[in-house]
Amino acid sequence: MMYTIGTRGSQLSLTQTRWVVSEIKKKLPDAEFQIITIKTQGDTDARPLFTINQKGIFEKEIDRAVAEKKVDFAVHSLKDVPAELPDDLVLACIPKREEANDVFITNDANTLETIKKGAIIGTSSLRRAVQIRRIRPDVTVKPIRGNIETRIQKVKNGEFDGVVLAQAGISRLNLDVQFQRLPMDTFPPSPGQGALGIVSRRDNLQLIELLKKIEDPETRNAIEAERALSMFVDSGCRFPVGAFAHKENDRLRLKVIVYSVDGSKSIMVEKDSDARKANDLGREVAAELKEKGIADIAMNWREKVEEWNAK
């Protein structure tokens, strides 16, 4: 049986897709695959991510190809997949998650705590920008775009003194680079960070059955809780939320932190539940965030982003 897979053309996307192929072949050795690369808006729009007021900028074109039967399924970095998909598509499979934390990379082995005052730190994420400033208000945080290798090279070239990236991408690409692992308490990741999401047509039941063979149930539960939270608080590139769910003593625990624009205020909610009630857990955490005033923080973020866009 031949299957076609849609993905972005970056080295990370291709590496992730080839890994998925290798995992499926362990279950179905005779299966054959053709990888088709598709450009997305996120690949062609060089603006900082927070200025693009759209969801799914790294996946929409690829998922459209799935819906139009140009490819059978798509492989994404899960944090790029919106919490809500079109009715004819489904998040068919979530394989085992890589490390979800962020890392800090410099040229000289400095950590975020020891790097010089006024250092220029690059990040593509508003969430990370605020988290950096909470720890080091004396550094300058600037937007950085490009794939992982490009961003690391900008540090080597001296354009930036350091950069914050997801560890998962470095691990998947097997890059030989030293980094400081940033703690989850101060750098909670984006919902879905470190996981892959495989999207197929909802009616392609035979394919979904095959993809389920490489799913990791524990990762699925964690991601479902994080995505349920995202759906109910409307998080994204323009209103960042740090969230991470994991299994702890046979329970599913979800911790979420949101920050004010200047980083001076934060709201933290942490709850656990039966792992089979992941969606309910995400909704319960979102409800508590609303009770604690997340709407005011969200409004403040939107106003600030509009100011940045007007400059």
Q: Which residues are catalytic?
A: 80
CA–CA separation, 168 and 190 (whole Å)? 12
Contacts of 161 (CB under 8 A, 6+ apart): 106, 107, 110, 115, 116, 119, 120, 121, 139, 155
Instruction: Starting at the earlier edge strand, list the strands of the sheet with 266-274.
Output: 242-248, 251-259, 266-274
Secondary structure (3-state) at 300: helix
Instruction: Starting at the earlier edge strand, list the strands of the sheet with 120-123.
Output: 140-143, 120-123, 162-166, 102-106, 180-181
Strand partners, 76: 197
Work out the number of other CB atoms within 10 angstroms of the CB of residue 159: 14
**Torsion over CA of 146, 152, 158 and 162, rounded to 10 degrees?**
100
Residue 127 · residue 143 · CB < 8 Å = no
Q: How many residues would you count in the chain?
A: 311
CA–CA separation, 256 and 244 (whole Å)? 7
CA angle 20, 26, 32 (to 5 degrees): 65
Could you tell me the maximum CA-CA distance found in the chain, to the nearest angstrom?
58
Per the structure block, which two tokens stand in for 100? 């979800």
The secondary structure of 246-286 as a DSSP string is: EEETTEEEEEEEEE-TTSS-EEEEEEEEEGGGHHHHHHHHH
CA–CA separation, 2 and 228 (whole Å)? 34
